[in-house]
Structure 1
Amino acid sequence: MSQKTFEFRCPIYGFVTLSEWEREIISQPAFQRLRRIGQLAFTNYVYPGAMHTRFEHSLGVMHMATMLYDGIVARSRELLESEFGYNDTGFERYRALARLVALLHDVGHSPFSHPGEEIFSPKDDSVESERYAHEDYSTAIIRHHFKEVINNHPVNDNYRFTADEVAALLEGSADTKSALFWRDLVTSQMDADRMDYLLRDSHHAGVDYGRYDWRRLVQTVEAVPGVRGGSPTLGVSEGGLHAAEGLIIARYFMFTQVYFHKTRVAYDHHLKEALKEILPDGRFPPPTPDLLDEYLDWDDWRVLGALKNGGGGEHGRRILDRDHYREIWHTPEIPGPVDEKKLKLQRDELGNLVAAEIPAEKSWYNTGSSDIPILTENPVRERKPLSYFSSVAKSIKLINQTRLYVKDEDRDEAKRRLRKEGDDNG
């Protein structure tokens, strides 16, 4: 069945093309909701241009995943045919499947994206229970709210995959290696998700920190043979090594300068506390079939309306009045024992003036089994981890910074106490 195509303007790639089927998918209410889910919460209070949404990011991830897919097939077709038995029909099928997984990967995000995840429901009633993640909501929504438009669309007569297959690939439960290989396009250290959000967030925030040579990565991405007879994985040829390093460095800078900005994380704290006041039982409902509609009713607009009506308590008022907590002291990004001791001293000296203690913990890159594989070119083609070549990848350490915040009206007294503590130890 031939399809019409539709083009959307995109500030990152110029144009993003959708098929008629994909256009019907994004027209579903559960996808249109992403127009009302901000990508970066209240980051626009610091970087005013950061007003973009999960809607445009999802289109961008689909576009980036498609470029990566086409590059892999162009350079690794013979390997994929021998490993997975693909023919032309198989390549077309998995291309369509990969596009839908990329397009729908974020449909489960809560209002204002990541800050709301801290108040997702626990998976069971135990005290230490793991909470649901937005991926759990995404896969449940795909299975229940996109089932009809995926399973029964006439175009799918060409591919014959189901909404459950889309969700299974996203969550990593697909039952074939030939399908799971493509999961790396949306869940790896060089996936289309982070490749798009770094570029897009950087563009809208008006900073250059998230820029890297994405075109070179698209030109050098390959299926790299597995270790000791294992399945191939997503990697790059040696010519893309420095572009892969650039992606890691861009992610580090975006987290330290934008995502972990001291004011932005203060608003994340206020939002989390305000949501506890607004939501029934102080948390989002779990992603069970009977509660998905209730969850999908929540978006940024509804939360802002509740804040405007006074439903968020003190923290909601602070968001509306831009009266956020102020950082008064912080540890280094990688604190040592002396820094941990000083944190305790500062905390004790400030006493009841500490309004919030906010950690910033992130690993920018993981070596080991998830290390980006590099396919060397000389003297023979063989697989090596990026960290084998890259001093950047080898030197990256976990950031575990702690910040102490006080109310604006307490800043002068807080500074006085910290100066006194410094004088007493000087």
Structure 2
Amino acid sequence: MSSHSYPHKICDPIHGFIRYDEVEGRLIDSRPFQRLRYIHQMGVAYLLYPGATHSRFEHSLGVMELASHIFDTLLAPRNLIFGESIPKSDQERGYWRRILRLAALCHDIGHLPFSHTAEKALLPDGGHEKMTLQLVQSDELRTIWNSISEEAESDICKVLVGEGEFWEQILYKIIAEDNFGADRIDYLLRDAYYTGVGYGHFDFHQLVDTLRILPQGIGVSISGVQSVESLWIARYMMFARVYHHPKLRVYTHHMNRFLSDHFPTSWDLESYLQQTDYTVLTLMAEAAKKGDFDARCLLKMEEPFQEVVLEDESKED
């Protein structure tokens, strides 16, 4: 759909070539985004699945790529069932496509080291989304947004939180919709690929091709129902066999305790940008030398708990 030029490309095992333009390249090269290279997508899952060392950096690139495909599908003339509140001109659509791609890149930049594990222990209010908005509104990224328009920063924030009019909420759902948003599709495919399990695979091309804008939001045509069902089954199996694997939950329990005991609970933006998984691992190595039980378990110096009572967890992405 877009005639916009994307002269740069990154090779990705899930989506092939992911192309991006100069402004997106500036965001990718920024400190908030580069930091995602050093935050594991699946937390401590690499202790159980050795291949699960992928990061939120490549996941965010994948979400941008998928969000673009969903946008183009939804706005293709043959697919427009409900056209109210949809931008009409090519210029407007090009602008919002750009905003969507930038928001998709930014959707995870506020994550703490080891992601949801740390956030459960250290961020009881607001999670990583609050820090994501602070980073988007920081002086460091504002110079990028201002190169597009005065409204770009505000529009990106609206897309990230799902605020605004019907159209902004549609863009939010393209990224974060519970049933078939780009975030969910990418993490299921990517996590299945890097863990080496077969549970997370489904026909996402067919699913994306059948998405439509409806008065209630985003829906799927009848020919895509089985693809949605396949996604649900893939998600169920990934949670049952991977994300909630008993051993992985024990490792997560140890990490939760370690972070609660040793990691700071407040930061300014500058210190936040310096916190990565490797910051935690360095801290853990020092604590293990001093006999910290959780650190020693996570570094394989002690046998982990054989039986731990854990609350039900369904936090994802």
Instruction: Give the distance between the partners of 1:324 and 1:142, measured in 2 at CA.
Output: 42
Instruction: Give the distance between the partners of 1:151 and 1:70, measured in 2 at CA.
Output: 23
| Shift in alpha-carbon separation, 1:87–1:3, aligned structure 2, 3 A | closer
Q: Structure 1 residue 361: deviation in Å?
A: 3.7
Instruction: Give the distance between the partners of 1:144 and 1:86, measured in 2 at CA.
Output: 32
Q: Give unmatched runs, 5+ long, in structure 2.
A: none
> 5 Å matches for 1:22-421?
22-74=24-76, 75-77=78-80, 79-80=82-83, 82-122=84-124, 131-144=125-138, 146-153=140-147, 156-157=148-149, 160-174=150-164, 176-189=165-178, 190-226=180-216, 233-280=217-264, 283=265, 285=266, 291-310=268-287, 313-321=292-300, 323-328=302-307, 356-362=308-314
Aligned to 1:49, the other structure's residue is in SS state: coil
Partners of 1:48 and 1:205 within 8 A in 2? yes
Instruction: Give the distance between the partners of 2:16 and 2:294, measured in 1 at CA.
Output: 40
Partners of 2:162 and 2:173 within 8 A in 1? no
For residues 108-128 of structure 1, the C-alpha deviation after alignment (integer angstroms, 9 at most, x for no partner) is 111011111112344xxxxxx
Aligned to 2:138, the other structure's residue is in SS state: helix
Q: Structure 1 residue 186: deviation in Å?
A: 1.7
Instruction: Give the distance between the partners of 2:237 and 2:74, measured in 1 at CA.
Output: 28
Give TM-score, length-normalised by structure 2. Answer: 0.91
Instruction: Give the distance between the partners of 1:48 and 1:169, measured in 2 at CA.
Output: 35
Q: Which deviates further from its counterpart, 211-220 or 196-205?
A: 211-220
For residues 290-343 of structure 1, the C-alpha deviation after alignment (integer angstroms, 9 at most, x for no partner) is x22222221111111111112682211111125353444xxxxxxxxxxxxxxx
| Shift in alpha-carbon separation, 1:309–1:363, aligned structure 2, 3 A | closer
Q: Which amino acid aligns with 1:35?
A: R
Instruction: Give the distance between the partners of 2:30 and 2:315, measured in 1 at CA.
Output: 36
Greater radius of gyration (CA): 1
Partners of 1:139 and 1:168 within 8 A in 2? no
Q: Which amino acid aligns with 1:308?
A: A
Corresponding residue of 2:12: 10
Q: Structure 1 residue 161: deviation in Å?
A: 3.2
For residues 176-207 of structure 1, the C-alpha deviation after alignment (integer angstroms, 9 at most, x for no partner) is 22222211112212100010000000000001
Q: Structure 1 residue 4: deviation in Å?
A: 5.5
For residues 77-128 of structure 1, the C-alpha deviation after alignment (integer angstroms, 9 at most, x for no partner) is 4733x43352211211111111111111000111011111112344xxxxxx
Instruction: Give the distance between the partners of 1:95 and 1:27, measured in 2 at CA.
Output: 20
Aligned to 1:119, the other structure's residue is in SS state: helix
Q: Which amino acid aligns with 2:105?
A: L
Instruction: Give the distance between the partners of 2:237 and 2:279, measured in 1 at CA.
Output: 32
Instruction: Give the distance between the partners of 1:145 and 1:63, measured in 2 at CA.
Output: 26
Partners of 2:80 and 2:212 within 8 A in 1? no
RMSD, aligned α-carbons? 2.2
Aligned to 2:133, the other structure's residue is in SS state: helix
Partners of 2:66 and 2:182 within 8 A in 1? yes
Q: Which deviates further from its counterpart, 99-108 or 216-225?
A: 216-225
Q: Structure 1 residue 45: deviation in Å?
A: 1.4
Q: Structure 1 residue 277: deviation in Å?
A: 2.5
Partners of 1:120 and 1:132 within 8 A in 2? no
Q: Which amino acid aligns with 1:110?
A: L
Q: Which amino acid aligns with 1:57?
A: H
Q: Which amino acid aligns with 1:317?
A: R
More strand by percentage: 1
Instruction: Give the distance between the partners of 1:274 and 1:320, measured in 2 at CA.
Output: 12
Instruction: Give the distance between the partners of 1:169 and 1:50, measured in 2 at CA.
Output: 29
Aligned to 2:62, the other structure's residue is in SS state: helix
Aligned to 2:312, the other structure's residue is in SS state: strand
Q: Which amino acid aligns with 1:185?
A: I
Aligned to 2:8, the other structure's residue is in SS state: strand
Give TM-score, length-normalised by structure 1. Answer: 0.69
| Shift in alpha-carbon separation, 1:251–1:324, aligned structure 2, 3 A | farther
Q: How many residues align?
A: 310
Q: Structure 1 residue 5: deviation in Å?
A: 1.5
Corresponding residue of 1:424: none
| Shift in alpha-carbon separation, 1:145–1:191, aligned structure 2, 3 A | farther
Instruction: Give the distance between the partners of 2:152 and 2:24, measured in 1 at CA.
Output: 14
| Shift in alpha-carbon separation, 1:112–1:208, aligned structure 2, 3 A | same
